[in-house]
Chain A
């Protein structure tokens, strides 16, 4: 029994390490795009950038990270109902973020910074790549929600949920650098 527990912990550690290595390599793509923004445009920012929208998007992602953290703590304590509730709120916030980016930010940006301009290239590259990460984050959270509903996680073994949540925090972490780069600097 003791050997089985040690083996499980070893497996979880390896999965966690793999996830972090993936996120580290993924962040290099974002780093390249962030660097390209400053290389192409310096600190120039069009005055038409929608500041309130940037603040709302940032607030949504920060709030979603809080609820994701609550979901993580809940499943670690074996509270399945709270886990499902919190991960559900996280998914709703993620979808709201996506809708705002695609339906509000991009149509607005097309007018003052089309992709043919330097700033437009940076904006659509960064927010486009980030939006695909938000979408994939919502999908993996949905998988975690469905598995959680079926009782697939325990307090001792729930890396599927924890890994999905860590990935969601990574999506938030990337936005922490995209927000000032696109909305505030300049």
Chain B
């Protein structure tokens, strides 16, 4: 992928992570009763999936022939 395209995707991922964090904060402070714990867990898992997939490049683990490059 070209550098400019990587930058665009990186900014997009950062924005999504920021929005998910803001939603987490709103869910916790707003207090959604019994659903709060479940929502917070789902939001944390979504953020983790983004970090593992995009930032940590977990997919490279399944491409031994390319060396990840």
Interface residues of A (CB under 8 A from B): 8-10, 12-13, 16-17, 20, 43, 51, 55, 58-59, 62-63, 65-66, 68-70, 73-74, 76-77, 79, 156, 162, 166, 169-170, 172-173, 176-177, 179-180, 183-185
Q: Are B65 and A70 in contact (CB under 8 A)?
A: no
Interface of B is mostly: helix
Q: State the 8 A-B residue pairs at the shortest beta-carbon distance, nearest first.
A: A9-B67, A184-B28, A66-B14, A169-B55, A73-B6, A180-B40, A13-B64, A12-B67
A173 and B48 CA atoms in complex are apart in Å by 6
How many residue pairs link A and B with beta carbons under 8 A? The number is 95
A183 and B27 CA atoms in complex are apart in Å by 12
User: Can you list 16 A-B pairs, Cβ within 8 angstroms, ordered by A?
Assistant: A9-B64, A9-B69, A10-B64, A20-B61, A58-B21, A65-B17, A66-B14, A69-B54, A70-B10, A169-B56, A173-B51, A176-B44, A180-B43, A180-B44, A184-B24, A185-B28
Cβ–Cβ < 8 Å partners of B40 in chain A: 180, 184-185
Chain A residue nearest to B25 (CB atoms) is A55
